């Protein structure tokens, strides 16, 4: 799936604890919004949408969760479980987050502020958008 990419976030090992750094050259867009998901029940799911213009990077700051990625032709699931791994999701990719472990925290770095009109929340509408 060419519009997604799992990448390393630099990690500085230290006996006192590790440090990871996200700087502007690591993310291929200007970050305009940062939010995080937490206290998610293990049987719940988040996402269930695609973006027309917005790009995102997801990071599991704590715990783990699965990200189902769907480009309208193929699907793949990526498990995020390390705070030094980022998942770039480009425009036009349906995503569903599930299987949250206890204490999971998902950090999202977004290329734009919240704009409801940028969301495709209906899966059939998403598939239709991929055909045009």
* 19 φ, ψ (degrees, to nearest 5): -135, 130
Fill in the DSSP letter of residue 9.
P
Report the C-alpha gap between 130 and 132 in whole angstroms.
6
Report the C-alpha gap between 99 and 48 in whole angstroms.
14
Selected catalytic residue, list 11, 33, 46, 49? 49
Report the C-alpha gap between 84 and 7 in whole angstroms.
9
Check if 51 is active-site. no
Residues assigned a catalytic role: 49
């Amino acid at each position: 799936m060419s519009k997604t990419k799992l990448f390393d976030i630099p990690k500085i090992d230290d006996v006192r604890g590790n440090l990871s750094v996200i700087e502007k050259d690591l993310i291929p867009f200007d970050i305009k919004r940062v939010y995080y998901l937490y206290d998610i029940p293990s049987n719940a799911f988040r996402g269930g949408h695609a973006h027309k213009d917005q790009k995102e990077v997801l990071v599991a700051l704590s715990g783990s969760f699965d990200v189902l990625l769907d480009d309208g032709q193929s699907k793949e699931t990526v498990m995020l479980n390390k705070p030094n791994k980022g998942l770039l999701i480009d425009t036009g990719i349906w995503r569903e987050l599930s299987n949250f472990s206890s204490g999971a925290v998902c950090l999202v770095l977004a290329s734009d502020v919240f704009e409801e009109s940028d969301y495709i929340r209906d899966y059939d509408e998403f598939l239709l958008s991929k055909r045009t």
